[in-house]
Amino acid sequence: MNTNHTTRLAGLLTAMLMTLAINGAMLSKFNSVAQEGYASNSQASNVVTLQTVSVVAHRS
């Protein structure tokens, strides 16, 4: 392997590692917040209902 390919591979692997670390940390935080919210509010008093949206597009 020459230096250019090695540098690109190292950059790609670093980017993948950072992406996995950041996404994993965010998912872990979302999970802990959801678990805390569920534990502190065992009775769901607020129910949100979303309206249905229909999208109509012309076919070409």
Q: What ranges make up the beta strands (E) of 1-60?
A: none
User: What pLDDT score does 31 carry?
Assistant: 86
Q: Tell me which residue of 53, 37, 35 sits closest to 45, measured CA to CA.
A: 37
User: What pLDDT score does 21 carry?
Assistant: 94
User: What pLDDT score does 9 carry?
Assistant: 94
The answer to whether the predicted template modeling score (pTM) of the entire model surpasses 0.75 is no
Q: Where are the domains of the chain?
A: 1-60
Q: What is the pLDDT along the chain (60 residues), one digit of tens a residue?
A: 688 899 999 999 999 999 999 999 999 888 888 888 766 665 556 667 778 888 888 887
Half-sphere exposure of 28 (CA within 13 A, CB side): 6
